[in-house]
Amino acid sequence: MDGDLLGALLTPLRLQGVFHSRWQARAPWAVAGEPEECALLHYVQHGTCAIELPGMDPVLLREGELAVFPHGTAHTLGDRHGRPGVPLSSVLPERRPGEMTTIEVGGDGPQTVVLCGGLHYDRAAASPLYQALPPMLVLDRAALRAHPLLHDTLRNLAAEWGSPEPGASLVVLRVFELVYVLALQAAVGELADTEPVLQALRHPRIGAALHAVQTRFAEPWTLETLAAEAGLSRSVFAANFRSLVGEAPMRHLTARRLREAARLLAETTLAHGRISERVGYRSPVGFHLAFRQWYGMTPGEFRRRSRA
- 181-195 pLDDT tens trace: 899 888 877 765 666
Q: Which of 100-109, 144-153, 156-165, 237-246 has the lowest average pLDDT?
A: 156-165
| Confidence band, pLDDT 50/70/90 cuts, at residue 3 | very low
Whether residues 160 and 218 share a domain: the answer is no
Residue 53 predicted with pLDDT over 80: yes
User: Which residue range forms the structural domain that includes residue 286?
Assistant: 203-307
CATH number, domain with residue 160 = 2.60.120.280
Whether residues 125 and 158 share a domain: the answer is yes
User: Which one-letter amino acid corresponds to residue 298?
Assistant: T
Whether residues 229 and 166 share a domain: the answer is no
When pLDDT is averaged across residues 69-86 and rounded to a whole number, the result is: 94
When pLDDT is averaged across residues 44-51 and rounded to a whole number, the result is: 96
Q: Side-chain half-sphere of 6: how many Cα atoms within 13 Å?
A: 17
End residue of a domain, out of 169, 190, 211: 190
User: Please, what is the average pLDDT of the chain?
Assistant: 88
Asked if omega into 128 is within 30° of 0 (cis), the reply is: no
Whether residues 225 and 169 share a domain: the answer is no
Residue 2 predicted with pLDDT over 70: no
- 203-241 pLDDT tens trace: 889 988 998 998 899 999 999 999 999 999 999 999 999
CA dihedral of residues 234, 236, 240, 245 (deg, nearest 10): 10
| Confidence band, pLDDT 50/70/90 cuts, at residue 177 | confident
| Confidence band, pLDDT 50/70/90 cuts, at residue 163 | low
| Confidence band, pLDDT 50/70/90 cuts, at residue 100 | confident
Whether residues 185 and 227 share a domain: the answer is no
Q: Which of 7-21, 49-63, 227-241 has the lowest average pLDDT?
A: 7-21
Whether residues 89 and 212 share a domain: the answer is no
In DSSP notation, 174-229 reads HHHHHHHHHHHHHHHHHS-TT-HHHHHHH-TTHHHHHHHHHH-TTS---HHHHHHH
When pLDDT is averaged across residues 249-272 and rounded to a whole number, the result is: 93
Could you tell me if residue 198 is inside a domain?
Answer: no
Q: How many domains does the chain contain in total?
A: 2
Could you tell me if residue 97 is inside a domain?
Answer: yes
Whether residues 232 and 104 share a domain: the answer is no
- SS3 for 108? coil
- SS3 for 138? strand
Q: How far is CA 144 from CA 181, 235, 295, in A?
A: 13, 41, 40
Whether residues 131 and 18 share a domain: the answer is yes
Residue 152 predicted with pLDDT over 80: yes
Whether residues 111 and 227 share a domain: the answer is no
Q: Tell me what percent of the residues of the chain surpass a pLDDT of 90.
A: 58
- 105-147 pLDDT tens trace: 999 999 999 999 888 887 777 877 788 788 999 999 999 999 9
